[in-house]
Amino acid sequence: MYLIRQIVKKQALIFLRNPQLLLLLIGLPIILIAILGASIGDLMNGETVSIDAKVAIIEHGSEQEQVENFILDVEKSKLSNEVKTAIQGNTEQLSLIETLIEDVLGSNELEEIITLESIKPSEKNEIINDDSFAAIIEVPENFTFNTLQHTMLGKGEPGMLKVYKNEGKQIGSMVVGGILEQFQEQLTMISFAGKHSISMEAIQVDSEAVSGEVRSINQKKPITAQNYYAVGMAVMNVLFVASMIGSFAFQEKKIHVFNRVILANLSRWIYFSGIFLSGVIFGFLHLLIVYGVSWLFFGITWPNLLGFFVVTFGLAIAVGGLAVLLTAISYRINSEVITNYFSSIVVSIIAFLGGSFFPIGDFSKTIQFIGNLTPNGAGMTAYLTLLRGDGISEILDQFFFLTLFAFLLVVIAGFSFPKRGYTL
């Protein structure tokens, strides 16, 4: 036990003698929490994103004349009197572009996000080169007449709107595109009503007559962006503790610490234990400090403190296992390459898979499953479960996984660690 304490003490002294390293370990996650929580907070919290889409509409020809010409064609057609009466009774619905401009793009619901400007055809080239417009809608000659002929009488081809989208204003152009798709659905509805002698009022829904409220299916406490990134950055950066302990342990090779263990006829598991405990202790302290600062500056609290300490301890055990494995491999290959590779590349990869940067698991169950097989991913899942208000019983699976993960790493390290007679 004395030698184990000395190994832990030596690791602690190395940390204390490197204040810049300590500042990086603790300061980096705090800075990242503040930056990511502020920059992506609105998106993750489901808040409204400000949209200001400037839309130009160019009309060729008079729509009123097109509607009048269509009514004349209907009167001359072989349609039944009932169908003719139904079509003539819906003349307001026949002005398709007027409906698009006044009732759709110019509606009260869209007036705050869409600014509509009517442009003369002669100004088309000038407007296309104007980057302030999110989209330009060009209505070709006889668009309304051709569309009504096709949908109501089954003659000819429907008119086609030309839409020019500004790729530099992607959100605004996407909004306009979605609105036009809905407008196309309305045209289909008009066609159906006209062909079957149905009044448009009969198939429209009065939104004011529909009452109710929206409730979330999941009534648990929602996760804010600040909470999410506090957890994500903590579980990612604590992995650097393992790589640093592995690096420190390899540096001790130069002063023959491990050789003295071998010469003293002590089991290599003594040295394992010292490295493992160092990883557990310093990983646990690192997490407590990061979450403590997050509580002071960002107001992040834990509804279940016992569950919090259980998850933190489980993650610290996994860090200890990683520290032992990195140390063993470094001793085996007689190089710090593995610890440098782990801290510079592996941590970033498993942090991405574990969801530290973004809840990527929400988009793919496969990635979510793989992420939960990483120590940071399992720890993050457990922490977020607690933040949602679940009890300790809901995070026991992650705790046991972290413990088993550490055990397997220590076993692998046991086979990798240099044995007596191995030249270091």
**Residues 135-158: pLDDT tens digits?**
888 888 888 888 878 777 778 787
Q: What is the DSSP letter of 121?
A: G
Residue labelled with tokens 């009534």: 219
Q: What is the DSSP letter of 129?
A: T
Angle, helices 225-237/375-387, rounded to nearest 10 degrees: 150
Residue 228: the pLDDT is 87
**Residues 83-115: pLDDT tens digits?**
677 666 666 667 778 888 887 787 777 777 888
Written as tens digits, the pLDDT of the chain (424 aa) is 666 777 778 777 777 777 777 777 778 888 888 877 666 655 555 554 556 788 888 888 888 888 888 888 878 777 777 767 766 666 666 777 888 888 778 777 777 788 888 888 888 888 888 888 888 888 888 888 888 787 777 787 878 888 888 777 777 778 888 888 777 776 666 566 555 555 555 545 443 443 344 343 344 577 777 888 889 899 998 998 888 888 777 776 666 666 666 566 666 677 778 888 988 999 999 999 999 998 888 888 898 899 999 999 999 999 999 988 988 888 787 777 887 888 788 888 888 888 888 777 767 778 888 888 999 999 999 999 999 888 898 899 999 999 999 999 988 988 876 665 454 4
Residue 156: the pLDDT is 78
Q: What is the DSSP letter of 79?
A: -
Q: Going along 149-207, which residue ranges are E strands?
A: 162-165
- Going by C-alpha positions, the residue among 394, 356, 357, 401 that lies closest to residue 375 is 401
Tell the burial category of 58 from Cβ atoms under 10 Å away from its Cβ (0-12, 13-18, 19+): buried
C-alpha 158 chain-centroid distance: 41
Q: Edge-to-edge strand order for the sheet containing 135-139?
A: 114-119, 53-59, 135-139, 162-165
Domain architecture of the chain: domains with CATH: 2-45+224-416 (no CATH), 53-201 (3.40.1710)
Give the strand pairing for 114-119 and 162-165. unpaired
